[in-house]
Amino acid sequence: MSIRTFSVWRGDKNGGRFVEYQVEVEEGMVVLDAIHQIQRTQAHDLACRWNCKAAKCGSCSAEVNGRPRLMCKTRLDALPVGEMVRIQPLQTFPIIRDLVTDVSWNYQVNKKIPPFAPRPDASWVMLQQDVNRAQEFRKCIECFLCQNVCHVLREHERKSEFFGPRFFVRIASLQMHPMDSLDRLPLLKNEAGLGLCNITKCCTEVCPEDIHITDNAIIPLKERVVDRYYDPIQILLRKIKGEKASHAGGK
Amino acid sequence: MAQTGSVLERNGLGVTARRDAWWLQPLLVFLGLTAFGVYAMWAAWQGNNYLYQAHGAYYLSPFYSPDLHVLFGIQLPFSFAFLILWIPLGFRATCYYYRKAYYRSYFLDPPACAVGEPKGRCYRGERAFPFILQNFHRYFFYLATLLLLSLWYDAVRSFFFRDPAGQLHFGVGVGSLVLLFNVLTLSAFTLGCNSLRHLVGGRLDCFSCSAAARTRHKLWSGVSLLNLKHAPWAWISLFAVGFADLYVRLCAMGVWHDVRIF
Amino acid sequence: MNEKYETHEHDVIVIGAGGAGLRAAIECSALGAKTALICKSLLGKAHTVMAEGGVAAALAHVDAQDSWRTHFQDTLFGGKYLNNWRMAELHAREAPERVRELERWGAVFDRTPDGKILQRAFGGHTYRRLAHVGDRTGLELIRTLQDKGVHQGIDVFMECTITKLLKDGERVCGAFGYWRETGRFVVYKAKAVVLATGGIGKCYKITSNSWESTGDGHALGYEAGAELVDMEFVQFHPTGMVWPPGVMGLLVTEAVRGEGGILRNNQGERFMEKYDPKRMDLSTRDVVARAIYTEVKEGRGSPHGGCFLDISHRKAPYIRQKLPSMYHQFKELADVDITKEPMEVGPTSHYTMGGIKVDADTGASTVPGLYAAGECTGGVNGANRLGGNSLSDLLVFGRRAGAGAAEYANRAAPPRIDQTQVENAAGEMIGFFDRPGAADPYKLHVDLQNTMQNLAGIFREEKDLTMAVARLEDLQRRAAHVGVVEGQRMYNPGWHLCRDLHNMLICSQAIVRAALLRKESRGAHSRLDFPKYDEYWGEHNIVIKKEPDGMKVQARPVVKVAELIPLVDEKKAKETK
């Protein structure tokens, strides 16, 4: 057992500071264990969210040594030995207190996405290969690390015109569902602000569920938007084939 | 003991709590792309030494393929490589991987994940000119595929050597292998294209609903497999194409002597 | 009238937003009731996400012989015939439709080769019955319900803890709580209340449960006068992680065994041969948990005090596809590659079969206007729950409780809030700030967990349980002195814990007292001093109710259904053969 120093941001929307704590570290410990120990023994009121402690609920998101991580999944032995461990809240969302931020914006965005609407003639016969893509997207645990790291939200603060990677993944899961009947491409192009994404892939880098957010969700959606709005040949083909095919690339 | 400092001081280039060498990757990408760009400009500018024909060999630099002189017999006041190179340049510039690479390393938008950007810029993403043009990536893909066919022709051609009697014989020179390597990596890069992945099957919502869809699912799976390693192929093929030009050029200049293996 | 505190008025409020709460709220609002959904965490983080293996439903997609009757029989056999038969019947009959409904709402289950919902084998189920999505079925379920719910116009109140049910005479008329974020108080007026708060895992030291599982619904219901049933039955999941220390108790899904995982001791023996040669590794959870415990106690355990669970004989890509989160969990948290090496596992407190006693058809508790669903109820699972039955339970009875509450609200008079009750509830919460030299709630929690773990765990006996009763009384006294040591009302977990302890103490007392009364071993309740089944207790449940003079514990005959007797007799005959 050894002692390590943790520097944890304490404060609220009016400001705060990093406070150092010494924690007894045992083998296999994760950052969240250390936070719990601090809570139990040194700072009863240290605010942090957590639930499952198994990387399945996505509650304990924070920035550990500047990197957006789930605290329950970040092993101490994977961090540089002998250095202080610095923990701060997600930077993209308003601070509530200590490591807790106000992520309610995400829930508002989710409400704007038209939900699953099965085709009236849906047979519900789907092969595994038909659902693999949607299943990958549905692994999302809504930790909002991708939203936090995305520079469109983090640096450019475009919350009013950009849904963020989490919700592109959600839209992709609906759009590629074999039984869904809705067309969400106009939403993607306009309100969701897909064009603001410049595919710099930080969302994919931080995803604790290893969802290939950029390659499997965002880029395929961008290509569908191209089909609909930018590709002259596709547009012409649709004109020739008539109105019915106008949903190509969407539904 | 406690330190002070607000968390929310996130604006400004390079402002981050990260302690690793986050700047290393964008720097390497910057150096790599710049070095290649400078070399490619120089090589295209030359307008000569792109074809090596000594000892019966026929090695054509990929920067000059197809050989417009031979095809059309035209003479231009500038190197005809410029008539060709805009295609691979456009293909790579609009490629989803390269976009990430240069947005990060050239535009610092962002320089790295969770690292601050220069202050006070107006960000418009890919919704406005010029980056809205990225949406035409698939057209560059179509054109790049044509060039790829030409490069395959060159690669195959490089395995045939003309004897003094004017007869073609199969043979293998180091240059043949260089050109083959070049076209193989370019194929792996081109056929892993995200636009191709979409067109070939990604645009379908159901992969099992018709015989055509099932076939397209197989194609999509194949492209997906290449696409997983799109970034490494992007770099390997970039190196390969630069090296192929250099090899042919050095041979043609007589600086380097091609070795006939077989 | 009550504008001192933020006040909301609804037809129905649902407390708890796990699967049961969400399903109840969806049903309520679909029936036209103005519905509020209140949860302690963010929406979608509830413990349901930890349900990994699947949802049990006799769809008969993989094994065509399966039917609701077999599912009913399996459930009763697993519950050692203490189940509420009517609940078990409804559960088995309606689960398939609830699963299909989930698919129509957008859930994407794993598929059979002919494109139907795939089902896997699980402990105690005669046929392959669990519809699943890899090993993250609970997440799929909660996300599907969440999206269905928010688009249906349910009002969601996140990070809000309810501390008291408000009553208007006999009936329930609302709830009092606080916002975790600000610490401000809030009053909900409602014609009906649905409790769906989940389990009590945090009473134990080694548990697969999150901080939320503090038995809130059990305690809220109990204090409002509702009866609790089967509280002695706490399920220890046989396979929790035992190493590293930080993740001790973390669930290792039964799907590992469903996919062919084998349990071994340090001699390399398949010890389940000794304990249940017929079902082996896929025996019911009570049996497997006791087996592992016994092996460890007799010196045949693994290095970190568990046993070995090995799936490495299956092909690596298959394991990664069917058990992806287990693969990552062990890889990242324990440095173990489960495609190559065995896991180390041991029992962990996982689920409580006991809870609020409800009417099978409507989810109504014994208090007018109070409904309950999911883990915080008792009845469907009897003495031991089969894996996969919790997700089907919460779908079936979440829907029924939602419908029951909506129907009640439809004909109920408008609620009247009694200001004194509100002020008392507020006073209790404020009181924690008002204790100079307050006792440390964290310390008390650790003591409680140790007491329950050591004295009311997998194996129990008279002297331990008697000691536990005394210790709990002592803890109860100490709990009157816990208070906030530092911080204010804004997002202060120390303050929250002070109140949660109250609920955990009620649940712990109920568990221990019921366990003391049941002088036999049955299902999840194993008495070293009474190791056999007892005929009387095989026909009786234990019911707990709050009386003016304290907790009243009594035996009551099992609720049977005459038409189902042949089915039950058939199963009994088959199993004794």
Question: How far off is chain B from A53, nearest CA to CA, in Å?
Answer: 24
Q: Is residue B85 part of a domain?
A: yes
| CA-based torsion, A69, A72, A77, A80: positive or negative | positive
Contact flag A126-C115 (C-beta cutoff 8 Å): yes
pLDDT given at position A66 = 95
Cβ-Cβ contacts under 8 Å for C109 (sequence gap 6 or more): A131, C99, C103, C117, C118, C131, C132, C133, C140
Buried b (16+ CB within 10 A) or exposed e, B153-176: ebbeebbebeeeeeeeeebebbbb
Among candidates C41, C110, C134 on the partner chain, residue whose Cβ is nearest the Cβ of A51:
C41
Q: What is the CATH number of the domain that holds C223?
A: 3.50.50.60
Question: Could you tell me the CA-to-CA distances from C405 to A54, C16, C154, C398 in Å, in that order?
Answer: 34, 15, 15, 11
Neighbours of B72 (CB within 10 A): 10
Let me know if residue B262 belongs to a domain: no
Q: Is the pLDDT of residue C577 over 60?
A: yes
What does the pLDDT look like over C47-76, one tens digit per residue?
999 988 899 999 999 999 999 999 999 999
Same domain, residue pair A41 and A111:
no
Q: Are residues A96 and A113 in the same domain?
A: no
Residue C574 resides in a domain? no
Clarify whether C257 is annotated catalytic: yes
How many whole angstroms from its chain centre is CA A183?
Answer: 23
Q: Which one, of C124, C204, C565, lies nearest residue C385 by Cα?
A: C124
Task: Determine contact, residues C196/C401, Cβ cutoff 8 Å.
Answer: yes
Q: Is C237 among the catalytic positions?
A: yes
| Distance in Å, alpha carbon of A135 to nearest chain B alpha carbon | 13
Is residue C329 domain-shared with residue C442, that is, in the same domain? no
Q: Same structural domain for residues C276 and C319?
A: yes
Tokens at C403, concatenated: 């419908």
Of A48, A81, A101, which residue is a domain's last? Answer: A101
Q: Looking at the domain assignment, is residue B18 inside a domain? A: no
Residue A131 shares a structural domain with residue A89: no
Same domain, C23 and C58: yes
3-state secondary structure of C301: coil
Nearest to C332 by CA among A74, A68, A79: A74
Give CA–CA dist C307/C292, Å, rounded: 7
Please say whether the beta carbons of B186 and B237 come within 8 A: yes
> Would an 8 Å CB–CB cutoff place C486 in contact with chain A?
yes
pLDDT digits (tens, 9 = 90+) for B101-157: 999 999 999 999 999 999 888 899 999 999 999 999 999 999 999 999 999 999 999
* CA nearest to C494, candidates C568, C421, C433: C433
Question: How far apart (Å, rounded) are the C-alpha atoms in residues B121 and A156?
Answer: 9
Residues pairing with A2 in the sheet: A25
Closest CB to A17 among B3, B103, B228: B3
For residue C359, what pLDDT is reported? 98
Per the CB < 8 A criterion, the answer to whether C355 and C230 are in contact is: yes
Compute mean pLDDT per 10 residues along chain A, 251 residues long, and list them: 93 94 92 95 95 92 97 93 94 96 97 96 94 97 97 95 98 97 97 97 96 98 97 94 57 59
Residue B260 lies in a domain: no
Specify the pLDDT at position B10.
55
Say if residue A140 is in the same domain as residue A83: no
The minimum CA-CA distance between A124 and chain B, rounded to whole Å, is 12
Which two structure tokens, joined as six digits, stand for C85? Answer: 């038969």
Please check whether residues C345 and C355 belong to one and the same domain: no
C199 and C138 share one domain: yes
For C36, other C-beta atoms within 10 Å of its C-beta total: 26
- Most C-contacting residue of A33, A40, A76, A111 (CB-CB within 10 A), to test interface: A40
| C147 touching chain A per CB within 8 A | yes
Examine residue B7 and state whether it is found in any structural domain, yes or no.
no
C240-261 per-position pLDDT tens digit: 999 888 889 999 999 999 999 9
Range of the domain at A21: 2-101
Nearest chain C residue (CA) to A100: C491
Cis link prior to C244 (omega < 30° from 0)?
yes
Contacts 24+ apart (CB under 8 A), C158-161: C158/A104, C158/A107, C158/C17, C158/C39, C158/C41, C158/C42, C158/C43, C159/C39, C159/C40, C159/C41, C159/C42, C160/C38, C160/C39, C160/C40, C160/C186, C161/C40, C161/C216, C161/C496, C161/C499
- Within 10 A of C65 (CB to CB), how many other CB atoms are there? 9
Residues 6+ positions from B27 with CB-CB distance below 8 Å: B105
B243–chain A nearest CA distance, Å: 28
Residue C45's pLDDT band, with cuts at 50, 70 and 90, is very high
Q: Are residues C225 and C90 located together in one domain of the fold? A: yes
CA dihedral defined by C10, C16, C18, C24, rounded to 10 degrees? -40
Show the low-confidence residues of chain B (pLDDT under 70). Answer: 1-11
* Number of structural domains chain A divides into: 2
Say whether both A145 and A227 belong to one domain: yes
- Which among A19, A56, A93, A101 is the top mutation candidate for probing chain C, defined by the most C β-carbons within 10 Å of its own β-carbon? A56
| Cross-strand bridge partners of residue C175 | C165, C188
Give the closest of A66, A89, A201 to B18, CB-based.
A66
Q: Which chains touch B (3 or more CB pairs under 8 A)?
A: A
B interface test, pick of A19, A86, A198, A238 with most B CB neighbours within 10 Å:
A198
In the Cβ-directed half-sphere of C287, how many Cα atoms lie within 13 Å? Answer: 23
> Cβ B18–A149 below 8 Å, yes or no?
no
pLDDT at C3: 66
Q: Do A164 and A223 share a domain, yes or no?
A: yes
C219 in the same domain as C306: no
State residue B120's pLDDT score. 81
Cβ-count burial of C540 within 10 angstroms (0-12 exposed, 13-18 middle, 19+ buried)?
A: middle
Residue of chain A nearest C493, judged by CA positions: A45
> Whole-angstrom Cα distance, residue C119 to residue C132?
7
DSSP one-letter string for A73-132: G-BGGGSPTTS-EEEE--SSS-EEETTEE--HHHHHHHHTS----B-TT------HHHHH
User: Is residue C421 included in any domain, yes or no?
Assistant: no
| Residue A244 confidence (pLDDT) | 53
Task: For tokens 């995305």, name the residue.
Answer: A150
For residue B1, being part of any structural domain is answered with: no
Asked if residue C15 lies in contact with residue C217, where contact means CB atoms within 8 angstroms, the answer is: yes
Min Cα distance A200 → chain B (Å) is 4
DSSP secondary-structure letter at A24? E
Q: What is the residue-averaged pLDDT of chain C?
A: 95
DSSP string for C224-246? TT--EE-TT-EEEEEEEE-SSGG
Residue B200 placed within a domain: yes
In angstroms and rounded to an integer, the radius of gyration of the C-alpha atoms of chain B is 23
Domain of residue B49 covers 24-253
Q: Mark yes or no for CB contact B114/A155 under 8 Å.
A: no
Pairwise CA distance, residues C23 & C399, whole Å: 5
| CA diameter of chain A | 73
- Are C247 and C389 members of one domain? no
Does C359 lie in the same domain as C260?
no
**Is the domain of A72 the same as that of A150?**
no
Q: Name the E strands within C359-496.
A: 370-372, 377-378, 459-460
The pLDDT of residue A250: 54
Determine the 3-state secondary structure of C318 from DSSP. helix
Least CB–CB distance from B114: residue in A68, A227, A229: A68
Q: How is residue C31 annotated by DSSP?
A: T
Do the domain assignments include residue C251?
A: yes
Q: Is A145 found in the same domain as A93? A: no
Q: Do C158 and A104 touch (CB under 8 A)?
A: yes
Comparing CB atoms, the residue among B109, B116, B125 nearest residue A195 is: B125
Q: Does residue A218 share a domain with residue A151?
A: yes
Give the residue among C165, C231, C488 at the shortest CA–CA distance from C375.
Answer: C231
> Are the C-beta atoms of C452 and C204 separated by less than 8 Å?
yes
Using CB atoms, which residue from A33, A115, A174 is nearest to C246?
Answer: A33
Paired tokens of A21: 């704590």
CB of C317 within 8 Å of a chain A CB? The answer is no
- The boundaries of the domain holding residue C342 are 237-350
Q: How far apart are CA A149 and CA A170, in angstroms?
A: 17
Is A160 in the same domain as A46?
A: no
The verdict on A68 and A8 lying in the same domain is yes
Amino acid occupying residue C179: W
- Cβ contact C515:C524 at 8 Å: no
Distance of CA C179 to the CA centre of its chain: 24
Nearest-5° angle of CA B78, CA B82, CA B83? 100
* Burial class of residue B214 (count of CB atoms within 10 Å of its CB; 0-12, 13-18, 19+): middle
CB proximity list for C256: less than 8 A, separation 6 or greater: C239, C309, C311, C323, C326, C338, C343
Query: Which DSSP state fits C415?
Result: P
Determine the Cα–Cα distance for residues C551 and C48; give it in Å rounded to an integer. Answer: 30
Residues C226, C250 within the same domain: no
Which candidate in C125, C132, C257, C502 is catalytic? C257
Count the neighbouring beta carbons within 10 Å of the beta carbon of residue B251: 25
Q: Check CB contact under 8 Å for B1 and A18.
A: no
Give residue-wise pLDDT tens across range C395-420.
999 999 999 999 999 999 999 999 99
Q: Which helix (H) or strand (E) holds C554?
A: strand C550-557
Mode of pairing for the β-strands spanning C155-157 and C35-38: parallel
- Please write down the long-range contacts of C338-343, taking CB distance under 8 Å and 24 or more positions apart: C338/C256, C338/C311, C338/C312, C339/C311, C339/C312, C339/C314, C340/C312, C340/C316, C341/C312, C342/C264, C342/C308, C342/C309, C342/C310, C342/C311, C342/C312, C343/C239, C343/C241, C343/C252, C343/C256, C343/C308, C343/C309, C343/C310, C343/C311
Q: Into how many domains does chain B fold?
A: 1
Q: Which of C93, C79, C73, C78 is nearest to C566 (CA)?
A: C73
Into how many domains does chain C fold?
A: 3
Q: What is the bridge-based pairing of β-strands C355-357 and C377-378?
A: parallel
Mark whether C215 and C313 lie in a shared domain: no
- In degrees and rounded to multiples of 5, residue C468 shows phi and psi of -60, -40
Please name the residue of chain A whose CA is at the shortest distance from the CA of residue C483: A44
Looking at the structure, do residues C259 and C133 belong to the same domain, yes or no? no
Q: Is C114 on the interface with A (CB under 8 A)?
A: yes
For residue A32, give the CATH number of its domain: 3.10.20.30
Helix, strand, or coil (residue C323): coil
From A120's Cα to the closest Cα of chain C, the distance in A is 11
Q: Does residue C573 lie within any of the structural domains?
A: no
pLDDT at position B176, please?
A: 97
Residues A58 and A176 in one domain: no
CB A202 within 8 A of CB B102: no
